[in-house]
């Protein structure tokens, strides 16, 4: 699985902000830390704001603050805001789907997708922050 | 910390104010069995007294490498965990295996599950194993999220199955 650029930006932003929920950070600061484009990130942050995961702080300094529930927001919740985590069974019909070969192929791909979903859906932002800690975050 | 049977039994404070009292993690006793049966029945809808008696006979009390621990809040059993050291397949060293965990549904999210899991991990560590494993239904979001929160990751072993019924 390869995450789209916007999804990666969003995950970095929510993890960064959720790691210190009282702190506000500008798009610039976050972009710099992760080496991503500020423009791109600004758009992503507005999206996250509409979904209630972050909030824009007005006034001096400005910036963004985490506004979600880190224990109840999973990686899948965030990813789904930016890309469709589509499954073979819910996706468009492809040529050959009804052949035995097509069905066997779908069965194998569904097995992979089910594991992927279970992984992303069981890791909350809070759990993810612990994992970040184990990788030696500053 | 008290040390019994070669591993520690911790006395913890509930972070959740629903109880506002301490609970202890201790080794299961014979008179916990009815409460275990009732808690399992509340989750699964099936009362299995013979099954749990048999589990108690094999895992209860003080045993090396087998741990049946309960969380006790003022004399009431409010959660339990069962694990054992298993000789692991395919040339891997023995590991700790957790095969049952349950917390009273009125007292969940108060750290009891974490305390039980940490206690059984302590026991495994004292025994000398360095890896703890369990198996969870892929769609059981609750239990999966719990084990994830404890830092568990997917193992390098995949469970495979086949239907052999004719
Ligand atoms: C899984 C279970 C043991 C957790 O027990 P618990 O005492 O509530 O666990 P804790 O309070 O220690 O929770 C630890 C972490 O697990 C995760 N977690 C627990 N319940 C959760 C829920 N409902 N949703 C999302 N995450 C959850 C959280 O990350 C939590 O961390 P937090 O306290 O910082 O929020 C309990 O929910 C349970 O008994 N469930 C039924 C188990 C079952 O079906 N057993 C039969 C098969 S073995």
Can you give the pLDDT at residue A6?
Answer: 96
Cβ separation of A134 and B148 shorter than 8 Å? Answer: no
Cβ separation of B145 and A124 shorter than 8 Å? Answer: yes
Span B140-158, pLDDT tens digits: 999 999 999 999 999 988 9
Span B56-67, pLDDT tens digits: 999 998 899 999
Is ligand 1 within 6 A of the CB of residue B142? yes
Residues 6 or more apart whose Cβ sits within 8 Å of residue B59: B28, B66, B67, B68, B82, B84
Nearest CA to ligand 1 atom 18: B146
Which pTM value belongs to this model? 0.89
Can you give the pLDDT at residue B21?
Answer: 56
Domain B3-149 has CATH 2.40.30.170: no
C-alpha A126 to ligand 1 mean position (Å)? 14
Span A3-48, pLDDT tens digits: 999 999 999 999 999 999 999 999 999 999 999 999 999 999 999 9
Residues 6 or more apart whose Cβ sits within 8 Å of residue A1: A116
Identity of the residue in A115, A124, A127 whose CB atom sits nearest the CB atom of B138: A115
**In 3D, which of B40, B110, B98, B106 has the Cα closest to residue B69?**
B98
Q: Could you tell me the pLDDT band of residue A60, with boundaries at 50, 70 and 90? A: confident
- Name the residue with tokens 């109840």: A72
Identity of the residue in B139, B149, B151 whose CB atom sits nearest the CB atom of A118: B139
Identity of the residue in A122, A126, A134 whose CB atom sits nearest the CB atom of B144: A122
| pLDDT score of B93 more than 60 | yes
Q: In the structure encoding, which two tokens stand for residue B17, read together?
A: 């104010």
Can you give the pLDDT at residue A137?
Answer: 55
Cβ separation of A124 and B148 shorter than 8 Å? Answer: yes
Share of chain A above pLDDT 90, in %: 85
A130 lies within 8 A of chain B by CB: yes
Q: What is the mean pLDDT of chain B?
A: 88
What average pLDDT does range A42-58 have in this prediction? 95
Span B5-35, pLDDT tens digits: 333 444 454 443 344 458 999 999 999 999 9
Q: Report strand pairing: B132-134 vs B95-103.
A: parallel
Q: Per CATH, which fold does A5-137 belong to?
A: Arc Repressor Mutant, subunit A (1.10.10)
Greater confidence (A66 vs B166) lies with A66
Query: What are the domain boundaries of chain B?
Result: 3-149
């Amino acid at each position: 699985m390869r995450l789209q650029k916007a999804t990666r930006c969003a995950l970095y932003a929510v993890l960064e902000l959720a790691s210190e929920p009282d702190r506000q950070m500008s798009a610039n600061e976050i972009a710099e830390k992760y080496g991503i484009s500020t423009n791109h990130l600004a758009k992503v942050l507005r999206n996250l704001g509409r979904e209630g995961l972050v909030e824009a702080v007005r006034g001096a300094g400005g910036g963004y603050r985490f506004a979600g529930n880190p224990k109840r927001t999973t990686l899948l919740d965030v990813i789904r805001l930016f890309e469709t985590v589509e499954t073979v069974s819910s996706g468009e019909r492809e040529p050959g789907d009804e052949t035995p070969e097509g069905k066997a192929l779908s069965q194998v791909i569904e097995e992979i997708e089910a594991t992927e979903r279970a992984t992303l859906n069981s890791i909350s932002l809070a759990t993810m922050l612990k994992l970040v800690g184990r990788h030696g975050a500053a | 910390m008290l040390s019994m049977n070669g591993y520690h039994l911790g006395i913890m404070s509930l972070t959740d104010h629903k109880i506002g009292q301490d609970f202890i993690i201790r080794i299961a006793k014979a008179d916990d069995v009815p409460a275990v049966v009732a808690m399992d029945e509340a989750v699964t809808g099936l009362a299995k007294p013979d099954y749990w008696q048999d589990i108690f006979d094999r895992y209860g009390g003080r045993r090396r490498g087998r741990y049946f621990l309960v969380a006790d809040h003022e004399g009431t059993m409010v959660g339990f965990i069962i694990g054992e050291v298993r000789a692991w397949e395919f040339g891997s060293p023995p590991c700790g295996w957790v095969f049952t965990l349950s917390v009273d549904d009125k007292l969940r999210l108060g750290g009891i599950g974490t305390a039980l899991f940490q206690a059984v991990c302590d026991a495994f560590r004292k025994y000398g194993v360095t890896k703890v494993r369990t198996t969870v239904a892929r769609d059981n979001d609750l239990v999966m999220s719990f084990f994830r929160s404890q830092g568990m990751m997917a193992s390098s072993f995949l469970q495979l199955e086949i239907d052999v019924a004719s």
